[in-house]
Chain A
Amino acid sequence: MANLHTTFAGISSPNPFWLASAPPTDKATNVNRAFEAGWGGVVWKTLGEAGPPVVNVNGPRYGALLSADRRLMGFNNIELITDRDLDLNLREIAEVKRNWPDRAMVVSLMVPCEEQSWKSILARLVDTGADGIELNFGCPHGMSERGMGAAVGQVPEYIEMVTAWCKQYSKLPVIVKLTPNITDIRLPARAAKKGGADAVSLINTINSIMGVDPYSLTMSPSTGGKGSHGGYCGPAVKPIALNMVAEIARDPLTTGLPISGIGGIGNWRDALDFIALGAGNVQVCTAAMVYGFKIVQEMSDGLSNYMDEMGFASVEQIVGKALPTVTNWQYLNLNHISKAVINQDSCIQCGRCHIACEDTSHQAINCEKDGKRHFEVKEEECVGCNLCVLVCPVPDCITLRNLVPGEKDLRTDQEVSEQYANWTTHPNNPMRV
């Protein structure tokens, strides 16, 4: 079994799977169970200022986007930060960390954007033995209306300012958790780095409304007839998160800044996606909330087997491995030609490739041959768009074949060039160099 040990922003953990700051990390009972199940670390659910804690709604706090067979595709919540007393949380954090010294114990924080508030809470953490802090600049609901969470994360200057306070008043590694509810994720990441952050974590949840009850015509879920936008996460947000992680990882102004990847991670493949695109570890919430803490065992086992198979000795060796393959559209090779190929042996003849291509793409798949039902690509029409590959219900039945240089593209009647040529130099580009 490959060694999954990671050191992220100076924080050691036996595997790269941390539970994100969220309901699963709300209290000692849960976190003890999580560590027993094998989680490498936790980010303790966000602590607020001393004094009367926040109050949560006592109705549906969660909503979901479900597949027809009720697999949870997307998840939304309107829960606030911890609604438990600060002292109690701090006592439990200290106790759990004492019992689990090898696990990462990071504490999420959210207090008003005032220096004194941050200074006070950081002082309270000193005796807990926590390994690091995560600044919650991400929550898009409730707290943001009070000038915290995403309200801070949407203003790079605030991020830099608060991060700098935290570095000033604490010796602990500072992870800045970013909100995706922003136009360009690189700006808050740069601000965090300027403020001295040891790492960023992303994404926090996305502003979302799950739907409307068709018969009461009420926003759903609702609390006594009204609903409020909540934070969206789960499998459906992963691609958004991956792009943001990659954006930061390949931004020259934040190069080398450790990234904790968050967003829809439910298995080792998801984790690998984040790690290969630049994340040093990952945080999980929704998958645990759907399946329970045991799910980490499947994630760890999958990643470990993959690493053995690929010959990776450490997670670190994979970090950012796919990043060089991420580029901007203008640098894609316009001389590259792919064509779809349907494997007739595994084709079940559902015809979805045909109708998808016929109705919405390039009319490049036949539905008949010699009077019989038969689906075959017309290379003279195919642009290699991949739609048929994606709508086919059979894995690997339709694939894209890369034409080799010198081969004729039947669509254009041109030979495939071996030259790399992109849009920046293309004759059709009025801005070409």
Chain B
Amino acid sequence: MTTAQQPDVRPGRLAAAEYANAFADASPRLTRSQALLEAERCLYCFDAPCTTACPTSIDVPSFIKRIADDNLRGAARTILESNPLGGMCARVCPTENLCEAVCVRNTQTGNPVAIGRLQRHAVDALMESSKPQIFTRAPATGKTVAVVGAGPAGLACAYTLARKGHDVVIFDARPKAGGLNEYGLASYKTPNQFAQAEVQWLLGIGGIAVRNDWKLANASQLDALRGEFDAVFLAMGLSGTHALGIPGEALSGVRDAVDFIAELRQSPDLSTLPVGRRVVVIGGGMTAVDAAVQAKLLGAESVHMVYRRGADDLSASTAEQEWAQTNGITIGLWLAPIELVSTLDCANPGVGSGGHVCAVRFAHQAMVNGRLCATGETTILQADMVLKAIGQQLGNPLLAEAGLTLQGGRIATDALGQTSVPGVWAGGDCRAGGLDLTVEAVEHGKQSAQAIHAHLTRT
């Protein structure tokens, strides 16, 4: 570091016409012909491993057979019966770790049936059809349920309860429903406003009202919901992010990856979105990949995704890692950030603070006797923009005040999502002990809805 540098963060790195192409559907929908061929590969296994591997237990052989039989509506029904957010899950599930990981075609040919893409084919066809509603609502029960959070868990819970005839109000802190589906996923996974289309389809069952811009901020709000509604389902996700806890974290140009992704998702014109010439993303999960790839697609010259452990510990799936590398992301391993360097201090790193970030200093890591240790070596990566993707936390002290038992900072529940507070269930990322997957959040919502239904209808 010899000379101070000016940060290079600016919008419009691509020609205006290039954005649409750069952010096009990462995995376009199968054509009918492709779907029929792929469906033919399914062996219609007995007690199918894919169904067992699906957190929502979708009867995969059944829906694939229906695709092969030219019965797309029936295929969609099979999917949505088990997973009302089957359309989004088809796009974002790490299928290579779930259903497709256990497909017997792996054993036979090393190439599983493309279950996720087939699922999307069927659900999209239904949603674009003239009669997209496939289920009808049971007669009204007069019971009411409050759902906090309009993400996958909240929507799944609300939909399942509404189908059973209960009236549901979903409260959400954001201006739009959808949660991470709307704000937290790379746009090339869900282009063309699919998250909103799915929300509209879900609300189409009837009996669900959405109150936006309503944030659960104190214990008395929860008490009020408990008083006003017959049951409450908490599915507000994780609003806080972890801090790196290293010098320079407050420099401009350093931000949370989730905010970067949310801004990008809501931007009506990607050419107005500033991005650094050199971007460093810190973290090893799906959010890190989504942030890194989108930064690159916005025109960043170099993007490093840096993780403090080895490849085996990356929580981004192999397919996600390959996707990142295919898009020109350099994945750096065994590097823990120790300092964010300011432009003011680039000539003399480690001294001051303030100004814009210009580099990240990393300490090399190694496993020694099963423990992660610094080797003493350091590396510097130049950066005009640093995105932190090291995980999220509940970050909501009021929950403990409201009497909810927490576990690892998240809400402790029984297997069906019942919390320590009577009449209150919880699911999705805010529930303790999960995998932080969309599909799991849906299953939480579904399970708790069934438990709430049982609770509301017991005689």
Contacts and interface: CB of A to CB of B under 8 A. Distances in A.
Interface of A: 67-70, 348-352, 354-355, 367, 373, 393-394
Most B CB contacts (10 A, CB to CB) among A349, A354, A367, A394 go to A349
Most A CB contacts (10 A, CB to CB) among B40, B45, B46, B105 go to B46
A367 B46 contact: yes
B134 interface: no
Interface string B307-346: 0000000000000000000000000000000000000000
Contacts of A351: 45-48
B2 to A, nearest CB: 61
A67 B36 CA distance: 10
A354 B107 contact: no
24 contacts: A68-B36, A68-B39, A68-B40, A68-B68, A69-B37, A348-B104, A348-B107, A348-B108, A349-B45, A349-B49, A349-B104, A349-B107, A350-B45, A350-B46, A351-B45, A351-B47, A351-B48, A352-B43, A352-B44, A352-B46, A354-B46, A367-B46, A373-B47, A373-B49
Interface of B: 36-37, 39-40, 43-49, 68, 104-105, 107-108
A397 to B, nearest CB: 10
Contacts of A349: 45, 49, 104, 107
What DSSP secondary structure best describes chain A's contact surface? loop
A199 to B, nearest CB: 41
Contacts of B46: 350-352, 354-355, 367
Given A68-B36, A68-B39, A68-B40, A367 B47 contact: yes
A94 B45 CA distance: 59
Most A CB contacts (10 A, CB to CB) among B37, B47, B105 go to B47
A352 B43 CA distance: 8
Given A68-B36, A68-B39, A68-B40, A352 B45 contact: yes
A393 B46 CA distance: 13
Nearest to B109: A348
B105 to A, nearest CB: 8
A393 B44 CA distance: 11
A238 B40 CA distance: 24
Contacts of A394: 108
Given A348-B105, A373-B49, A393-B43, 5 more contacts: A68-B37, A68-B39, A70-B36, A350-B45, A367-B46
Nearest to A214: B70
Sorted nearest first, the 5 A-B pairs with minimum C-beta distance are A351-B46, A355-B46, A68-B40, A348-B107, A348-B104
Most B CB contacts (10 A, CB to CB) among A68, A70, A350 go to A350
A43 B383 CA distance: 78
Contacts of B49: 349, 373
Contacts of B105: 348
What DSSP secondary structure best describes chain B's contact surface? helix
A350 B104 contact: yes
B241 to A, nearest CB: 41
Nearest to B67: A68
A341 B43 CA distance: 20
A393 B108 CA distance: 9
A247 B350 CA distance: 95
A349 B106 CA distance: 11
Contacts of B40: 67-69
B448 to A, nearest CB: 29
Nearest to B41: A69
Nearest to B37: A69
Contacts of B36: 68-70
Most A CB contacts (10 A, CB to CB) among B36, B45, B49, B68 go to B45
A288 B315 CA distance: 54
Nearest to A358: B46
A276 B39 CA distance: 37
A67 B43 CA distance: 14
A394 B48 CA distance: 17
B50 to A, nearest CB: 11
Nearest to B44: A352
Contacts of B43: 350, 352, 393
B47 to A, nearest CB: 6
Contacts of A352: 43-46
A333 B108 CA distance: 37
Contacts of A348: 104-105, 107-108
A144 to B, nearest CB: 34
A172 B49 CA distance: 65
A172 to B, nearest CB: 48
A67 B44 CA distance: 16
A281 to B, nearest CB: 35
Contacts of B44: 352
A72 to B, nearest CB: 15
Contacts of A393: 43, 108
A336 to B, nearest CB: 30
Contacts of B108: 348, 393-394
Contacts of B104: 348-350
Contacts of B47: 351, 367, 373
B264 to A, nearest CB: 40
B27 to A, nearest CB: 22
A70 B105 CA distance: 21
Nearest to B108: A348
A21 B223 CA distance: 86
A160 B44 CA distance: 52
A73 to B, nearest CB: 13
B331 to A, nearest CB: 33
A354 to B, nearest CB: 5
Contacts of A68: 36-37, 39-40, 68
Contacts of B107: 348-349
Nearest to A375: B46
B112 to A, nearest CB: 11
A394 B105 CA distance: 10
A69 B36 CA distance: 7
B14 to A, nearest CB: 40
A36 B107 CA distance: 44
Contacts of B68: 68
Nearest to A68: B40
Most B CB contacts (10 A, CB to CB) among A67, A69, A354 go to A69
Nearest to A353: B46
Contacts of B39: 68
Nearest to A71: B40
Contacts of A355: 46
A367 B105 CA distance: 18
B422 to A, nearest CB: 37
Most B CB contacts (10 A, CB to CB) among A351, A352, A355 go to A351
